[in-house]
């Protein structure tokens, strides 16, 4: 439940959600009206910025703090997440699980342990930094729309993936399938009715995918091995705090996950001073490092929600 001292900015969130949906639709339409690849690139950057606001709103909905009414919260979160494009419920399962696994051995992408293959960890980590993480989420739509149960089939590919699969709650599989079906219906309809060239469409979506994915581990690289304190507050220009809805105040969020985005910069936690964006971003390109420190996941095997 949201603390009374931090009321949810429900109207603002719904207005921002409507803006994101309209702006993303307009940008996709515009990508079908231009011929120059320079114009497509500009639209891709614009879509990337707008949809990062959309992702931040999806993130609020995942924590039930986009709107105090649960139905409105989930419907708004689902509609915005369609432009990711992904299932809101699947994103929620993954993200809430992240708050349980963060910096444990089950979710430390910047580390590898004895018995693990360093080459695979490097490929996986640089996949996050270069956009393949987003692409894997998008490709999971193909699996979910056919049979969501396949998403939970245990794999030995890597430990973080196996830990995620163990926490997927089967009671949401039907809803995940419906949402991924809506993803295909929406995007297929836009490509057809708005006459968007397929290459233009993918270029615009991939622009967002790279921008979103390359920033996903900036808040966790090299942080303490603590499930709650294992994050950074990252200092950036105010305009980017507005676009990302203060998402870069990430340690404050992990310490107070039920506090809405507008209050995060004002929270005061010990040792929560922000670090400069460029330092946080570029040092993660050093890649994974070996460690002997082991931190068990206390929630291993438990379903999310």
CA distance 95 to 93: 6
Q: 3-state DSSP call for residue 116?
A: coil
The number of beta carbons lying within 10 Å of the beta carbon of residue 15 is 11
Pairing assessment for the beta strands 289-290 and 111-112 based on DSSP bridges:
parallel
Provide the mean pLDDT of the chain. Answer: 94
Q: How far is CA 91 from CA 18, 116, 172, 183, 218, in A?
A: 20, 27, 12, 13, 19
The number of beta carbons lying within 10 Å of the beta carbon of residue 100 is 18
- Which DSSP helix (H) or strand (E) runs through 53? helix 37-62
In this prediction, residue 3 carries a pLDDT of 54
CA distance 207 to 192: 21
In this prediction, residue 264 carries a pLDDT of 96
In this prediction, residue 158 carries a pLDDT of 81
Residue 273 token pair: 């001073």
pLDDT tens by residue, the chain, 305 residues: 455 689 999 999 999 999 999 999 999 999 999 999 999 999 999 999 999 999 999 999 999 999 999 999 999 999 999 999 999 999 999 999 999 999 999 999 999 999 888 999 999 999 999 999 999 999 999 999 999 999 988 777 788 888 888 889 999 999 999 999 999 999 999 999 999 999 999 999 999 999 999 999 999 999 999 999 999 999 999 999 999 999 999 999 999 999 999 999 999 887 778 999 999 999 999 999 999 999 998 887 777 87
Those residues whose C-beta lies under 8 Å from the C-beta of residue 266, and which sit 6 or more positions away, are none
Give the side-chain half-sphere CA count within 13 A for 36.
5
Q: Give, rounded to a whole angstrom, the gap between the first and last alpha carbons of the chain.
A: 14
**What digits encode the pLDDT tens for the residues 154-187?**
777 788 888 888 889 999 999 999 999 999 999 9
In this prediction, residue 2 carries a pLDDT of 54
**What digits encode the pLDDT tens for the residues 226-278?**
999 999 999 999 999 999 999 999 999 999 999 999 999 999 887 778 999 99
The whole-model pTM stands at 0.95
Residue 234 token pair: 């990252």
Complete DSSP assignment for 232-296: -BEE--HHHHHHTTTTTBHHHHHHSTTS-GGGGGG---TT---EEHHHHHHHGGG--EE------
CB 225 within 8 A of CB 61: no
């Amino acid at each position: 439940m949201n603390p009374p001292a931090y009321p949810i900015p429900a109207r603002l969130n719904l207005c921002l959600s409507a803006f994101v949906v309209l702006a993303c639709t307009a940008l996709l339409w515009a990508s079908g009206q231009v011929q120059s690849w320079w114009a497509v690139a500009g639209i891709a950057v614009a879509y990337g910025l707008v949809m990062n606001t959309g992702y931040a709103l999806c993130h609020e909905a995942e924590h039930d703090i986009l709107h105090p009414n649960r139905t409105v919260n989930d419907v708004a979160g689902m509609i915005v997440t369609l432009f990711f494009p992904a299932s809101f419920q699947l994103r929620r399962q993954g993200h809430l699980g992240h708050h349980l696994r963060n910096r444990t051995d089950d979710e430390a992408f910047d580390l590898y342990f004895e018995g693990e293959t360093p080459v695979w960890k490097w490929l996986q980590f640089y996949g996050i930094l270069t956009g393949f993480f987003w692409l894997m989420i998008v490709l999971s739509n193909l699996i979910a729309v056919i049979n969501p149960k396949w998403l939970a089939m245990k794999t030995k590919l890597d430990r973080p993936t196996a830990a995620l699969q163990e926490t997927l709650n089967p009671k949401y599989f039907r809803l995940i399938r419906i949402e991924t079906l809506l993803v295909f219906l929406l995007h297929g309809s836009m490509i057809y009715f708005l006459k968007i060239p397929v290459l233009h469409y993918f270029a615009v979506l991939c622009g967002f995918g790279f921008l979103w994915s390359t920033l996903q581990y900036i808040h966790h690289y090299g942080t303490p091995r603590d499930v709650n304190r294992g994050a950074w507050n990252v200092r950036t220009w105010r305009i980017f705090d507005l676009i990302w809805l203060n998402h870069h105040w990430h340690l404050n969020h992990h310490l107070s996950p039920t506090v809405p985005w507008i209050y995060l910069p004002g929270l005061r936690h010990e040792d929560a001073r922000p670090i400069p964006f460029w330092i946080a971003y570029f040092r993660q390109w050093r890649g994974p490092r070996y460690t002997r420190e082991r931190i068990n996941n206390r929630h291993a095997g438990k379903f999310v929600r």
